[in-house]
A = this chain, B = another copy of it.
């Protein structure tokens, strides 16, 4: 678990001071050292304590990023890329100090190729900004991790979200990146063709590398046509098992659901209280279908049959946008509703992902574990992917609660690994899950380390993330 192994390490004080001097001279006001700003750049939306960088720089071009990285490389000073700080595993912390590179000013949509369904953006573009920019093109970018994260951050953590079941994750939707490596060179990982067999897949190597191999300076993304019709619906189930069986049958029949989300009974109860709804307080699936008018009707009809076969209640669905928003209200407000189960508490979000055949078992064993550990912890899942989040509500000041939560998370991750699953479906490793990565990947972590050492021999690129490099 995170807390115990994120201690600050060795700091290269002389190098840091020199680099700050050099960068201040070259960048003027684009370098800031105020404590509040630095604290904000170590901000993590989890309970992992912040570790402040020594300065924050605001580059406005890839050329400036290159210059910054080269200065840091010359003096062996850590470089931490920063989007908007919505990552959940301490990704933007600076355990050895160093320079936080805030990508906020590199927020231009550089090119939209509507005929090719792709676009190239700077890393500081947020997903909402991108979709707003795309509105007139009839295209959209589907990946939706909840937070209004930047495309650079989403690329670095291999983010996904509710509609990965249909459109894939960042792995599937990044065509190429440009990145400045530790040597100060800017590489482009691929051309703009939709497929390629030209050498090693550097694009996929950078997607999910969490800033440890280079600083991303642009991202070329796949886009999707906005579907003719979108329908949404909700269906209650008597048990998590019944809901999961409906999910498996839906996937197996090849129904191209755009979203299929699971909320457990506690989460449904929280949503009813928070949003003043009267949904049945049993597990429920929230679905969305994308397609033609006839297509979404057909998909809904097929799902309704499956739901009935799995003892589900009535499947309510609609293509009317207002009514759809109404049906999905519980899902949209789930996070805030969950927090209100224990006002004032902090939430720790877990992120296991298992083969879907094991999802029901994993969720129900986890619910039993939550009950026996005396935790308050509702569950929301991207069920079509076998990925679910437990939001453990705790008071971080009470050591016994933190211990109980950590022990629970450890059991949960072990349970997922035993089912051939992963400790992280979409949040990444960061600082919080380094120990679990070793459990999960075994000898594979050695290969990752060899790559890290080859590309960043001085360990200046977001050190202390993914693996404890200095151990």
Contact = CB atoms under 8 A, between A and B. Distances in A.
A159 interface: yes
Interface string A136-160: 0010000000000000000001111
Interface stretch (A198-206, A275-283, A327-335): A198-206
Interface string A439-471: 011111111101101110000000000110000
A406 B112 CA distance: 35
Interface string A324-357: 0000000000000000000000000001011111
Most buried by B among A172, A224, A252, A386: A252
Contact of A199 (B195, B254, B437, B454): B437
B429 A199 contact: yes
A30 B181 CA distance: 45
Interface stretch (A40-48, A51-59, A121-129, A418-426): A418-426
Given A187-B442, A444-B189, A195 B225 contact: no
Interface residues of A, number: 94
Interface of A: 113-118, 138, 157-160, 164, 168-169, 171-172, 181, 185-202, 204-205, 207-209, 213, 224-225, 227, 248, 251-254, 256, 292, 294-295, 298, 351, 353-357, 385-387, 416-417, 420-429, 433, 436-437, 440-448, 450-451, 453-455, 466-467
The 8 closest A-B pairs by CB, nearest first: A204-B204, A454-B454, A115-B357, A196-B422, A192-B420, A193-B353, A225-B254, A116-B355
Given A202-B448, A450-B454, A451-B454, 14 more contacts: A115-B356, A115-B357, A117-B251, A117-B252, A171-B201, A181-B447, A186-B443, A187-B446, A197-B426, A199-B208, A199-B437, A201-B207, A447-B455, A454-B454
